[in-house]
Amino acid sequence: MIIGIPRETFAGENRVALVPDAVATLAADVQILLESDAGRAAGFADDAYVERGAQIAADRADVFARADAVLQVRTYGANPEAGRADLSLVRNGQVLIGASDPLTAAAQLRELADAGATLFAMELIPRITRAQSMDILSSMATVAGYKAVLIAAAALPRMFPLLMTAAGTLTPARVLVIGAGVAGLQAIATARRLGAVVQAYDVRPAVKDQIESLGAEFIELDIDAGDSEDAGGYAKAQDETFYNRQREELAKVAGANDVIITTAAIPGQQAPLLITADAVRGMESGSVVVDLAAERGGNCELTQPGETAEEDGVKIMGPLNLPATVPFHASQMYSHNITTFFKHLLTEEGVLQLDMEDEITRETLVMRDGEIVHPRIRDSEGGD
């Protein structure tokens, strides 16, 4: 079997789906065919792949023409503009594995199905114990949470730690992290390592111990969240009455902080609005808001996705695709996820097998034989 690794074409995407060290773990079962310079932006030269047994393809078309399975960071669904050029290269029955934005890219997925692709969406990895090593949402959220704190620290006109110097005492920065999923917990840990005083809020009371174990204060708002967590561990969407009350309470907390990092996102849905424009105006000039939900519309009313806005001296940052700004380690983590998943699909004889009785395979398979087979995706496109 031949695995193809094309260079990523999404603007600003510096990651690569497979790092050189992963080639050796797969070499016994498959042959790796790499588009030249596919890993260069992440810090991995072609020679490093060749040394571990990979081959360099003549060009991108050669990768798709020869590969039985193509591993990508972003398939066409998650790369709707530049990815369209790959449609003509996809062969009937060819397996594509990568991030696909499956709940919101119905048009692109329909085109891939028409091309005859078999697509696995890595965002749909179920949140079960045996699939943890395949979970790209968690691994990439780790990178995003870390980097969010660094860009906040760079934008803030003060330092994070308490410092006692001959020139006087510098008080520590105060950081509020909203959402204590993987990104939020990593943001808490990073802000604490930099010396900030950290508070954190999550609609799920069950995460209080995790927040406090990292040295942050858990903020309890005067609202009833009810059944706030779904079976997968994500925060459930709430009604607008709840969100109105939540915004009022968070506005009272916001003004006491120098940095707010918001991480509340629900897969496939618009991000909940948590920080109002009035709440931002209640913060001191020079304060910073980093909205990690910017790709889903943002948790802050003033967020402009991909831009840095300013209101009364407060910077509101809406970064997109933060993992791509730390491409070496983000690629390392992503590569481990996708390699583990691919090996899960292989039989002992090195044959790709789609066992629909297996939860991991069943939940990630979006399409095969020209049909969209995943129930949630069929529903999102209005039936199939």
Residue-wise pLDDT for 17-36, tens only, equals: 999 999 988 877 799 999 99
Tokens representing 27 are: 């070499």
pLDDT tens profile 57-88:
999 999 999 999 999 999 999 999 999 999 99
The CATH code that applies to domain 141-320 is 3.40.50.720
Q: What phi and psi values does residue 262 have, to the nearest 5 degrees?
A: -105, 135
Distance CA 216, CA 192 (A): 8
Q: What is the pLDDT along the chain (384 residues), one digit of tens a residue?
A: 999 999 999 999 999 999 999 998 887 779 999 999 999 999 999 999 999 999 999 999 999 999 999 999 999 999 999 999 999 999 999 999 999 999 999 999 999 999 999 999 999 999 999 999 999 999 999 999 999 999 999 999 999 999 999 999 999 999 999 999 999 999 999 999 999 999 999 998 889 999 999 999 999 988 876 655 555 555 666 778 888 999 999 999 999 999 999 999 887 788 999 999 999 999 999 999 999 999 999 999 999 999 999 999 999 999 999 999 999 999 999 999 999 999 999 988 888 989 999 999 999 999 999 999 999 888 766 544
- Cβ count within 10 A of residue 206: 11
Tokens representing 125 are: 């990895």
pLDDT tens profile 185-218:
999 999 999 999 999 999 988 899 999 999 999 9
Picking from 107, 108, 112, 22, the residue whose alpha carbon sits closest to that of residue 64 is: 112
Domain boundaries, the chain: 2-134+328-380, 141-320
The single residue listed with the structure tokens 């790959």 is 86
- Cβ count within 10 A of residue 21: 15
Kindly give the interhelix angle for 136-155 and 327-345, rounded to the nearest 10 degrees.
170
Q: Which residues face 175 on adjacent strands?
A: 198, 259
Amino acid found at 178 = I
Q: Who contacts 52 (Cβ-Cβ below 8 Å, separation ≥6)?
A: 20, 21, 23, 24, 27
> Catalytic site residues?
127, 132, 135, 138, 234
Is 360:134 a contact under the CB 8 Å cutoff?
Answer: yes
Distance CA 117, CA 125 (A): 19
The count of residues in the chain is 384
**3-class SS letters over the chain:** CEEEECCCCCCCCCCCCCCHHHHHHHCCCCEEEECCCCCHHHCCCHHHHHHCCCEECCCHHHHHHHCCEEEEEECHHHCCCHHHHHHHHCCCCCEEEEECCCCCCHHHHHHHHHCCCEEEEHHHCCCCHHHHHHCHHHHHHHHHHHHHHHHHHHHCCCCCCCEEECCEEECCCEEEEECCCHHHHHHHHHHHHCCCEEEEECCCHHHHHHHHHCCCEECCCCCCCCCCECCCCCECCCCHHHHHHHHHHHHHHHCCCCEEEECCCCCCCCCCCCECHHHHHCCCCCCEEEECCHHHCCCECCCCCCCEEEECCEEEECCCCHHHHCHHHHHHHHHHHHHHHHHHHECCCCCECCCCCCHHHHHHEEEECCEECCHHHHHHCCCC
Q: Which CATH superfamily is domain 2-134+328-380 in?
A: NAD(P)-binding Rossmann-like Domain (3.40.50.720)
Distance CA 188, CA 208 (A): 13
Distance CA 204, CA 225 (A): 7
The single residue listed with the structure tokens 């600003």 is 12
Q: Which residues face 290 on adjacent strands?
A: 261, 317
pTM of the model: 0.93
C-alpha distances (whole Å) from 131 to each of 6, 115, 200, 276, 344 are 25, 29, 28, 37, 10
Picking from 100, 181, 146, the residue whose alpha carbon sits closest to that of residue 330 is: 146
